[in-house]
Chain A
Amino acid sequence: MAIIEVKNLTKKFGEFTAVRDVSFSVNPGEVFAFLGPNGAGKTTTIKMLTTLLEPTAGEVKVNNFDLRHKRNDVRRSFGIVFQDPSLDDELTAYENMEFHGILYGETKANRLKRIPELLKLVDLFDRRGDLVKNFSGGMKRRLEIARALIHTPKIIFLDEPTVGLDPQTRNHIWSYVLNLSKTEGVTVFLTTHYMEEAEKMADRVVIIDHGKILATGTPAELKTTTGTESLEEAFLKLTGSAIRADEASSMDALRSQARMWGRRR
């Protein structure tokens, strides 16, 4: 029985179709990678699977709960690490964890046991009392992974969890994730730009572009069908080598505004 079941999922923004009639399923306990160039529809898909965006059409079941009717059950079934940080910089690492625990209705006893355990797992226990704004990018990412697991979800979504991190940190993050999927039996749904990582990590891979699925299979299968040596070559063969425009972002402008108003760093 699949833990995520997606049938004919479509998302339109006005005239633009970001995700077009996508179907796939994820098996319990596997590491599932969603790959595609910038603007392919990866993040839009994750946002729909995690109840942040309303699908235009299609059916989704997460942990056997229907996305439309059992929204809160779906939400309790997964943890998520977003592409951009989603921590509160002005709270400590522990407070960020505690916030999540209370929000997800974990009992005090559970929180007292689970939070230190997870902080140790990502090597942040000694920094638990520090404000998150003093953390490096890699530390923040580790904290987010730990936080996503407090409520013992069945699935963890990782949207580009290693983007912008140095190779050492990236390796570290992946070893945490692999470790977690083993010790906690969590299903991992990830997106990444780094094909070597996907090849190393993923049991199964979906390649998506322009909102459509181009190929599904194990990394080995994709290499065989495309007749290539590596997943990266297979990826390029499937999606073409034209350079994609990066998603326009108002983030930088906003950060400078925030600085002007004297909040955050």
Chain B
Amino acid sequence: MHSVHRPACGDAEDNMNTIYILWLRQLKKYIRSTPRIIGSLGQPLLFLLVFGFGFGSIFKKAGGGNYIQFLVPGIVAMAVVFTAIFGGIELIWDRQFGFLKETMVAPVSRFAIMLGRAFGGATVSVIQGLAVLVISFLVGFRMSNPLFILPAFVFMFVTAFFFTALGTAIASKLTDMQAFPIIMNFLVMPLFFLSGSIFPLNTAPKAMQILGRLDPLSYGIDGLRYCLIGASALNPWLDLLVLLGFSLVVLFIGKHLFEKMEA
């Protein structure tokens, strides 16, 4: 491809620049909006405290062990997922307030734009997840092996990437924010509850277990649980593989929708 006003430089470099600047934009906006940071910590913390202390003794009596230990990976994932899906859906605002057009007329690939958004949304989500994790130490949560924070980041990031890409794919088909509550109530919440986030899937009814296995988030949470408390239902490598598979699928669909989108 020839450039018009400057010496030709590689498409790969162009794409890296595009991804970088969209990622940076997302991060800057996040850091600047304190109300948003605090606001989106509210729900996970409410879940952590109410469920954690409310069900703790029953869980223990039923032989499940320390419920806070079990619950925290699920709640960390919750903070990650909610921030991520929102980061994807934000595309609607960029479209309505015009900023999307600025990126759509730029001489760069739309896939790079989408990737930049997804990485930005995922980074922000991981920070939110980390914030919840830190707070959970205050209510008595302990990691089985602090070194496993690194693979935990990987699981958080891939989970976040999946949900940001999913949000972006959905948003590229929507024109206004009216659909947001529908997405939350009929997609995100069911995915969250069926993922084994707040109760163990392996003691649930068979039908629920099957639904849980179809839920990408269940693999994210299972892997995260392995990293944080050293216990999981599946092999964490399998979790990662399945999660990556789901991410590639949604990325492929999202790419298709995003490229066809007219601003």
Residue of A73, A76, A253, A264 near B97 (CB, 8 A) is A264
Is A105 interfacial (CB-CB < 8 Å)?
yes
CA distance A95 to B263 in the complex (A): 22
Contact partner of A258 (CB less than 8 A), chosen from B32, B106, B177, is B177
Task: Tell me, in angstroms, the Cα distance from A100 to B36 when the chains sit together.
Answer: 26
Q: Is the CB of A262 within 8 A of B39?
A: yes
B96, closest chain A residue (CB): A254
Name the A residues within 8 Å of B107 (CB-CB).
71-73, 75-76, 104-105
Task: Produce 1/0 per residue, B240-263, CB < 8 A to A.
Answer: 000000000000000000000011
A52: contacting residue among B3, B28, B263, CB under 8 A: B263
B39: chain A residues within 8 A (beta carbon):
262
Total interface residues on B, CB under 8 Å, equals 42
**Secondary structure of the A contact surface, majority rule:** loop
Does A52 contact B105, Cβ atoms closer than 8 Å?
Answer: yes
User: How far apart sit A91 and B263, CA to CA, in the bound complex (Å)?
Assistant: 21
Residue of A100, A105, A264 most packed against chain B (CB within 10 A): A105
Question: B98 in the interface, Cβ–Cβ < 8 Å?
Answer: yes
Asked if A163 is an interface residue, CB under 8 A from chain B, the answer is no
When distances are taken between beta carbons in the complex, the residues of chain B under 8 Å from A78 are 105
Other-chain residue from B4, B9, B33 in contact with A77 (beta carbon distance below 8 A): B4
Q: Which residue of B lies closest to A88 (CB)?
A: B99
Contact of A86 among B3, B32, B102, B108 (CB under 8 A): B102
Q: Are B98 and A84 in contact (CB under 8 A)?
A: yes
Are A104 and B106 in contact (CB-based, < 8 A)?
yes
Bound: A152/B35 CA distance, A:
39
B18 within 8 A of A: yes
Q: A52-B263, A88-B25, A257-B177 are in contact. Are A76 and B35 (CB under 8 A)?
A: no
B98: nearest residue on chain A (CB-CB)? A86
Q: Are A76 and B5 in contact (CB under 8 A)?
A: yes
Asked if B104 is at the interface (CB within 8 A of a chain A CB), the reply is: yes
Interface string of A88-117 (1 = CB under 8 A from B): 111100010001101111110000000000
- 12 A-B interface contacts by CB (under 8 A): A52-B101, A52-B263, A72-B108, A73-B1, A75-B105, A76-B3, A78-B105, A84-B98, A88-B99, A90-B29, A102-B17, A258-B96
